[in-house]
C-alpha cells in the first residue's frame, strides 16, 4: 500500500522540523536526564516537606536550576540543524523553494572557482546567526558543561 501524502509531507519545512526533532531528542534526553539526575535529593525532600507538589517542585526547583543544561541543548541542537546539509537534501529533495542556506552557499562556487567574493560574503552572512545564538547563550553554555565537574 502506498501513502503519497507521507512522502509529500517530508518535502516541506514542517517535515524537516519533525525529522530534526526526532534526531535531536536522544541527545536532549540524555543531557537533561543526567543533569537533572545529579540534582541533590534533599532539594526535593525539603520542597515536599514545605507542601510543594511534584509539579510545583519541578517548576520552582528543577527548571531554574536546569537553565544551563537547557541552553547547552539549545546551542548543540541549533548548530547541528543549521550546519546539516545532508539531512536537508535527503528530506527536502533539493527543491528550489525549500533549499537550506548551506546548499545555497555551496551552489555559489563555480566549477572553476569564479565569483569567490560572493562565496566569502555568503559564508560570512550564514555564520552570523549561529554566532549570535552562541554568544547570547555562552554564559549558560559554560555553566552547563561544567555542571558535573568536581571542584578542586
Q: How far apart are CA 32 and CA 45, in angstroms?
A: 21
Phi and psi angles of residue 48, each rounded to the nearest 5 degrees, phi first:
-65, -35
Q: How far apart are CA 127 and CA 82, in angstroms?
A: 10
Highest mean pLDDT among 13-22, 86-95, 98-107, 127-136: 127-136
Evaluated on CA atoms 109, 112, 114, 120, the torsion sign reads positive
Highest mean pLDDT among 44-53, 90-99, 114-123: 44-53
Q: How far apart are CA 114 and CA 39, in angstroms?
A: 56
Q: How far apart are CA 94 and CA 41, in angstroms?
A: 50
Instruction: Tell me the whole-structure pTM to 2 decimals.
Output: 0.71
Comparing CA positions, the residue from 17, 123, 31 lying closest to residue 74 is 31
Per CATH, the homologous superfamily of domain 4-145 is MetI-like (1.10.3720.10)
pLDDT tens digits, 29-67 = 998 998 888 888 998 899 999 999 999 999 998 998 888
Q: How far apart are CA 3 and CA 49, in angstroms?
A: 54
Long-range contacts of 51-60 (CB under 8 A, 24+ apart): none
Domain extents in the chain: 4-145
Amino acid at each position: 500500500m502506498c501513502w503519497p501524502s507521507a512522502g509529500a509531507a517530508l518535502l516541506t519545512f514542517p517535515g524537516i522540523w519533525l525529522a530534526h526533532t526526532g534526531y535531536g531528542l536522544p541527545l536532549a534526553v540524555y543531557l537533561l536526564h543526567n543533569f537533572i539526575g545529579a540534582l541533590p535529593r534533599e532539594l526535593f525532600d525539603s520542597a515536599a516537606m514545605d507542601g510543594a507538589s511534584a509539579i510545583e517542585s519541578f517548576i520552582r526547583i528543577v527548571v531554574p536550576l536546569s537553565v544551563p543544561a537547557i541552553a547547552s541543548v539549545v546551542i548543540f541542537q541549533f548548530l547541528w540543524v543549521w550546519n546539516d546539509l545532508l539531512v536537508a537534501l535527503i528530506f527536502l529533495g533539493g527543491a528550489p523553494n525549500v533549499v537550506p542556506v548551506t546548499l545555497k552557499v555551496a551552489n555559489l562556487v563555480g566549477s572553476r572557482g569564479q565569483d569567490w567574493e560572493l562565496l566569502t560574503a555568503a559564508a560570512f552572512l550564514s555564520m552570523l546567526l549561529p554566532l549570535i545564538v552562541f554568544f547570547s547563550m555562552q554564559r549558560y553554555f559554560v555553566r552547563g558543561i561544567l555542571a558535573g565537574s568536581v571542584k578542586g
